[in-house]
């Protein structure tokens, strides 16, 4: 026969756990790589943002516009989601 679950077991099974992992990134390294290889999305890969890194790679840095914007954002230590500059 099927066992009945208690109220506590039901609540425990329904809870979802969200883990926010903050990635520590070397600011100088990321800035230099963005200036030199930003056209290819290397800076985004360093920050762990693979999806936008691939988009930047395939669009050749958003035809240069995205490349310039990322240099400015990284140079000013913009607080990207889940990124801590070291």
pLDDT tens track for 46-59: 999 999 999 999 99
Across 7-53, the runs of DSSP E, i.e. the strands, are: 23-25
**Residues 29, 16 contacting (CB under 8 angstroms):** no
Q: Is residue 17 pLDDT above 70, yes or no?
A: no
Residue 2 has pLDDT above 70, yes or no: no
pLDDT higher than 90, residue 22: no
Q: Which two tokens stand for residue 15?
A: 């809870």
Choose among 74, 10, 6: nearest CA to 43: 74
User: What pLDDT sits at residue 12?
Assistant: 57
Q: Which two tokens stand for residue 73?
A: 């954002």
The overall average pLDDT reported for the chain is: 85
Encoded tokens for 26: 């070397």
Q: Distance between CA 64 and CA 70 in Å, rounded? A: 10
CB 84 within 8 A of CB 23: yes
| pTM (two decimals) | 0.72
**Lowest-confidence pick of 6-20, 25-39, 57-71:** 6-20
């Amino acid at each position: 026969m099927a066992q009945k679950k208690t109220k506590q077991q039901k609540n425990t099974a329904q809870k979802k756990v969200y883990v926010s992992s903050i990635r520590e990134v070397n600011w100088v390294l990321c800035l230099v790589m963005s200036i030199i290889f930003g056209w290819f999305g290397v800076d985004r890969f360093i920050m762990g943002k693979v999806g936008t890194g691939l988009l930047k790679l395939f669009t050749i840095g958003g035809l240069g516009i995205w490349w310039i914007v990322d240099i400015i954002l990284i140079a000013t230590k913009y607080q990207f989601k889940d990124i801590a500059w070291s």
